[in-house]
């Protein structure tokens, strides 16, 4: 579905990603792992068009997207759920979802979104600013799902959330994966990420240092200890 070939991304003069190459097949869940500052979030931002690489190529569904605008990439079916969530605090849950659906080529009915997230149905008239952290994360994911994405990029979806909330979100992600949703997840919770992923990449200082299945990563304690602190 997406092929990334030797991209180099910068923040100003700071070189962050170095000849980074990854691939994600349709219906696959891929985890990008690494310590803080490894380049994981930068990779997602580069895929989504928030940041353009200075060199290298990104092909999504066979189309080159490395220089397209964010909205053009989103229109092709790639949705980023950012670490900051970025819901509209002055809009209700339903208004946030309606706004996301407005420009979608095809939108899921609200009833299907509320079937996935019953808590959002109960809070449909509540303003974004009144939601808990877990509810905000549910809304951020729901806002991406309502646009029927081909690929969802999840940036630290479990960060700062209570264990029960994380378990609920994991269950949602597993259900989506079982239904064939393609997902790339960046997550500091290595155990949670490996429980979801069919394949993993480990990043260190903008370089890929490991590629393999979760079982292969678990069988490489040197990689786990050196690059993940596990």
Element (H, E) at 139: helix 133-145
With a pLDDT cut of 70, the percent of the chain lying above it is 100
Q: CB of 119 within 8 A of CB of 135? A: yes
C-alpha 187/C-alpha 155 separation (Å) is: 7
User: From residue 156, how far is each of 33, 133, 187, 209, 229 by CA, in Å?
Assistant: 10, 13, 5, 20, 17
Residue-wise pLDDT for 143-200, tens only, equals 999 999 999 999 999 998 999 999 999 999 999 999 999 999 999 999 999 999 999 9
Residue-wise pLDDT for 8-42, tens only, equals 999 999 999 999 999 999 999 999 999 999 999 99
Find the length of the chain: 230
CATH T-level fold of 2-77+153-228: Rossmann fold (3.40.50)
Which part of the chain has CATH 3.40.50.300?
2-77+153-228
Nearest one of 180, 218, 206 to 43, comparing CA atoms: 206
């Amino acid at each position: 579905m997406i092929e990334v070939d030797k991209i180099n991304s910068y923040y100003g003069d700071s070189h962050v990603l170095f000849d980074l190459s990854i691939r994600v097949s349709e219906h696959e869940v891929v985890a990008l792992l690494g310590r803080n500052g490894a380049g994981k979030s930068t990779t997602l931002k580069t895929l989504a068009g928030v940041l353009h690489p200075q060199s290298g190529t990104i092909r999504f569904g066979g189309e080159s997207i490395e220089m397209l605008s964010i909205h053009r990439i989103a229109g092709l079916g790639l949705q980023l759920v950012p670490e900051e969530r970025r819901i509209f605090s002055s809009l209700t849950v339903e208004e946030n979802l309606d706004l996301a659906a407005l420009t979608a080529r095809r939108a899921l009915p609200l009833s299907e979104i509320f079937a996935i997230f019953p808590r959002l149905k109960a809070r449909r008239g509540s303003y974004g600013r009144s939601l808990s952290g877990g509810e905000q994360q549910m809304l951020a994911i729901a806002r991406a799902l309502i646009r029927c994405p081909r690929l969802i990029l999840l940036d630290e979806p479990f960060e700062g959330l209570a264990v029960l909330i994380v378990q609920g979100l994991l269950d949602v992600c597993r259900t989506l994966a079982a239904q064939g949703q393609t997902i790339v997840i960046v997550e500091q919770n290595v155990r949670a990420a490996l429980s979801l992923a069919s394949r993993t990449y480990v990043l260190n200082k903008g370089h890929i240092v490991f590629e393999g299945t979760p079982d292969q990563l678990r069988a490489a304690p040197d990689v786990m200890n050196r690059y993940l602190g596990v």
